[in-house]
Structure 1
Amino acid sequence: MTKQKRVMIADDDPGILDAVEAMLEFGGYNVSTTCNGATLLEMKEGFPDLLLLDIWMSGTDGRDVCKLLKQDEKTKDMPIIMISASTELEKSAKEAGADDFLEKPFDMDELLDKIKFHIK
């Protein structure tokens, strides 16, 4: 049996965290959540296989977090899908190093497809 892939969701909206966590667990993923994107910058190990990162979180710009993760040797290859309610932020998300972008509210099937694509 293959090890469950781990996905971390960083979003400051508890409703989104709960809904996405439930869907991904149903999809067979091991899910962890945080309402603070900077949590990942403090981690030393146990990184997820993929990060779903909200662009706007209280106190943190997800793009800054993304840039720092992509510069770090330990996390530079971890796929990051950035999510935002604004389509205008897709370009800046990609510039920050995000591997993909999803606009809120997003379709769960689309999210699952993107996660499958990025987690080899």
Structure 2
Amino acid sequence: MEQPKQVFVIEDDNDLNDALVMLLKLAGYDVSTWLNISAFKRREGPPPDVYLIDRQLDQEDGLDLCRELKAGPVTREIPVVIMSANAGIKAASEEAGASAFLPKPFTRKELVSILQSVLTK
């Protein structure tokens, strides 16, 4: 049996974090979450199969984290999906190296479809 794909979620909204964990686990993913970039950077262990990052985190920018991940030798090939309520940052997310952009609000189907898409590229 194949191991579930690991999703790292960086999202500062507790309620949305909880919803993402529930939706992603129901879809068969293994999920780890962080409320901010500082906490995420303190983690240990192997990288995930995909990152799901909110663009506007409290006092932090998810696009900066995306650029950092895409510059790292271990993480550069791992897909990054940027989430935002601001659809106008789609181009900026692509420039930062994101594999996909997920506009908020989104449905479970849209979320799973985007992850499946970036994981099969």
TM superposition score normalised by structure 2: 0.93
Residue 24 of structure 2: aligned partner: 24
* Cα drift, residue 38 of structure 1: 4.1
Determine if contact 1:21/1:31 at 8 Å carries over to the other structure.
Answer: yes
Distance 1:78 1:39, change over 3 A: farther
Partner deviation per Cα, 1:70-107 (whole Å, 9 max, x = no partner) = 00000001100000000011111111111000111111
Determine if contact 1:41/1:69 at 8 Å carries over to the other structure.
Answer: no
Residue 74 of structure 1 aligns to a residue whose secondary structure is coil
Partner deviation per Cα, 1:25-59 (whole Å, 9 max, x = no partner) = 01111001001134444445321110100000012
Aligned residues: 120
Percent identical residues: 32
Distance 1:35 1:68 in 2: 18
Residue 115 of structure 2: aligned partner: 115
Equivalent positions of 1:1-120 (< 5 A) are: 1-43=1-43, 45-120=45-120
Residue 12 of structure 2 aligns to a residue whose secondary structure is coil
Distance 1:51 1:21, change over 3 A: same
What is the aligned-residue RMSD (CA, Å)?
Answer: 1.3
Determine if contact 2:102/2:114 at 8 Å carries over to the other structure.
Answer: no
TM superposition score normalised by structure 1: 0.93
Distance 2:71 2:43 in 1: 15
- Of residues 110-119 and 36-45 in structure 1, the stretch that sits farther from structure 2 once superposed is 36-45
Distance 1:44 1:13 in 2: 23
The runs of 5 or more residues in structure 1 that have no matched partner are none
* Cα drift, residue 117 of structure 1: 1.4
Residue 106 of structure 1 aligns to a residue whose secondary structure is coil
